[in-house]
Amino acid sequence: MTTPRRLRVDRRLCEGHALCLQSAPEIFILSDDDVAECVAQPSNDQWDQAAAAIDACPRGAIALVEDLKGQPVR
């Protein structure tokens, strides 16, 4: 059994480069104040995109964290 995971953007680190949107446009948006937001958790076939977004972020602002609520990733 795998541990549930989810993506999280650290607003303090994000500088709005939007490279994450290029890698995973269905997962991230840029808010009105130019900070990336994770609007959907990756589906099973989107984890490669999510990993690419994490790698692309020059600020290291995207983290993959354990879902403390134990909710399965949808």
> 5 near 54, Cβ under 8 Å?
no
How far apart, in whole angstroms, are the C-alpha atoms of residue 29 and residue 37? 5
Taking the CB of residue 42, how many other CB atoms lie within 10 A of it?
A: 22
Asked if 62 is part of the footprint of ligand SF4 (rule: CB under 6 A), the reply reads yes
* Near ligand SF4 by CB under 6 A: residue from 24, 36, 42, 50: 36
Choices 14-22, 41-49, 66-74; region in contact with ligand SF4 by CB under 6 A:
14-22
Strand partners, 62: 9
* Near ligand SF4 by CB under 6 A: residue from 8, 12, 17, 70: 17
Asked if 66 is part of the footprint of ligand SF4 (rule: CB under 6 A), the reply reads no
